């Protein structure tokens, strides 16, 4: 074993496997002081990089209350006072990326939706190699107008960051009618991707809103404000994976829901970890509908959104 390999081996045992310097010294037949010196050499030589993560303030009281009310696996609620919407989203992305890291060693297939919140999760994720992870695009693509926030690009980027593979869903997100959808979902590549995503261990999803100021589908060009208004008249408060639901979490009976290509909500609910990321007061109704519908079991949000969610839950 050459010197560099020795430094890597000792650093791995100490920083990743949690062995003490005394245990490492015994394993290699050297003194503890030599182990300490080699660890210092590994840091100075760039083999080990130590990063101090900035503490992000969380609202533990709200976390406890929302987790209890909706029987969630986990909740992270950002204290977002003084932050504008983009800063809030970036911090939610960081929280979600850190949470994802805590469970990736337990998973092999990760499903991804799309949108600005998921874009921030991928941006914040610090590259680290994991064994045998495949990242799958769960819903069709939104097209070339918004490549950065499209599921195709996000799946590729996250797969590269975890040292894994990725699989695209080669289809548009919404098609003209249900007959076109039926024809597309039996195409070999699309069918295989949709079958594979049924085996996902974790899904990362945004929570869409029918509020025109924050509607991702309007920004992506799939809907205009007039169409969005018609959807709201049908009772829709938000969408998950482009399927719209009402304030109680029931899927709305509408043509649009029949034209979406992607994971079915029943399949989504069966995934072990479904991490929903959304924040801001304008998303409160959508978040409440998602929680009542049981579409997610891990929530990453902020105190402004969740304070409003709890108020709405008491009166609606």
* Unique residue bearing structure tokens 């406890």: 64
Q: List the domain range (segments joined by +) for residue 8.
A: 3-44
Question: Which residues neighbour 311 within 8 Å (Cβ) at sequence distance 6 or greater?
Answer: none
| Number of other CB atoms surrounding residue 180 within 10 Å | 13
| Residue 151 domain-assigned (yes or no) | yes
Clarify whether residues 212 and 108 are in a common domain.
Answer: yes
Report the CATH number at residue 11. 1.10.10.10
Token pair listed for 302: 């902020």
Clarify whether residues 32 and 67 are in a common domain.
Answer: no
Clarify whether residues 125 and 225 are in a common domain.
Answer: yes
Clarify whether residues 39 and 187 are in a common domain.
Answer: no
Clarify whether residues 13 and 112 are in a common domain.
Answer: no
Clarify whether residues 154 and 18 are in a common domain.
Answer: no
Closest by Cα among 117, 298, 280, 114 to 201: 298
Return the bridge partners of 167, or none.
Answer: 136
- Contacts of 149-158 with C-beta under 8 Å, sequence gap 24+, read 149/114, 149/115, 149/116, 149/118, 149/119, 149/220, 150/114, 151/112, 151/113, 151/114, 151/118, 154/112, 154/114, 154/118, 154/119, 154/122, 155/112, 157/122, 158/110, 158/112, 158/122, 158/125
| Residue 52 domain-assigned (yes or no) | no
Clarify whether residues 181 and 82 are in a common domain.
Answer: yes
Clarify whether residues 20 and 113 are in a common domain.
Answer: no
Gap between the Cα atoms of 240 and 286, Å rounded: 9
| Residue 54 domain-assigned (yes or no) | no
- For 28-178, strand residue ranges (E) read 74-78, 109-112, 134-137, 165-167
Clarify whether residues 28 and 107 are in a common domain.
Answer: no
Clarify whether residues 33 and 166 are in a common domain.
Answer: no
Report the CATH number at residue 225. 3.40.50.1360
Clarify whether residues 121 and 24 are in a common domain.
Answer: no
pLDDT in single tens digits along all 316 residues of the chain: 688 888 888 888 888 777 888 889 988 899 988 888 998 898 888 888 776 666 899 999 999 999 999 999 999 999 999 999 999 999 999 999 999 999 999 899 999 999 999 999 999 999 888 889 999 999 998 765 667 788 889 999 999 999 999 999 999 999 999 999 999 999 999 999 999 999 999 999 999 999 988 888 888 888 888 999 999 999 999 999 999 999 999 999 999 999 999 999 999 999 999 999 999 999 999 999 999 999 999 999 999 999 999 999 999 8
**pTM, entire model:** 0.83
- Please state the domain count of the chain: 2
Gap between the Cα atoms of 141 and 172, Å rounded: 5
| Residue 55 domain-assigned (yes or no) | no
């Amino acid at each position: 074993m050459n010197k560099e390999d020795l430094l890597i081996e000792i650093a791995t045992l100490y920083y990743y496997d949690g062995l003490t310097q005394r245990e490492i010294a015994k394993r290699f037949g050297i003194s503890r002081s030599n182990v300490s010196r080699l660890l210092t050499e590994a840091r100075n030589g760039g083999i080990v990089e130590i990063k101090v993560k900035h503490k992000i303030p969380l609202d533990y009281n709200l976390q406890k209350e929302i987790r209890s009310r909706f029987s969630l696996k986990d909740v992270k609620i950002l204290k977002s006072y003084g932050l504008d919407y983009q800063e809030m989203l970036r911090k939610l992305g960081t929280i979600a990326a850190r949470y994802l890291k805590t469970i990736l060693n337990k998973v092999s297939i990760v499903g991804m939706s799309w949108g600005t919140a998921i874009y921030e999760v991928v941006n914040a994720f610090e590259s680290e190699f994991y064994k045998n992870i495949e990242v799958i695009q769960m819903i069709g693509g939104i097209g070339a107008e918004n490549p950065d926030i499209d599921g195709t690009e996000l799946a590729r980027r996250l797969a590269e960051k975890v040292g894994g593979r990725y699989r695209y869903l080669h289809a548009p997100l919404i098609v003209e009618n249900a007959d076109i959808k039926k024809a597309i979902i039996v195409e070999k590549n699309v069918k295989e991707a949709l079958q594979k995503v049924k085996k996902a261990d974790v899904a990362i999803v945004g929570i869409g809103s029918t509020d025109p100021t924050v509607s991702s589908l309007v920004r992506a060009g799939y809907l205009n404000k007039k169409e969005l208004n018609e959807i709201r008249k049908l009772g829709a408060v938000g969408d998950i994976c482009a399927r719209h639901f009402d304030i109680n979490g029931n899927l709305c009976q509408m043509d649009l829901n029949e034209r979406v290509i992607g994971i079915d909500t029943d399949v989504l609910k069966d995934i072990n970890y479904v991490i929903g990321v959304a924040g801001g007061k304008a998303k409160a109704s959508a978040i409440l509908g998602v929680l009542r519908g049981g579409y997610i079991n891990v929530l990453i949000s902020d105190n402004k959104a969740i304070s409003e969610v709890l108020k709405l839950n008491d009166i609606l």
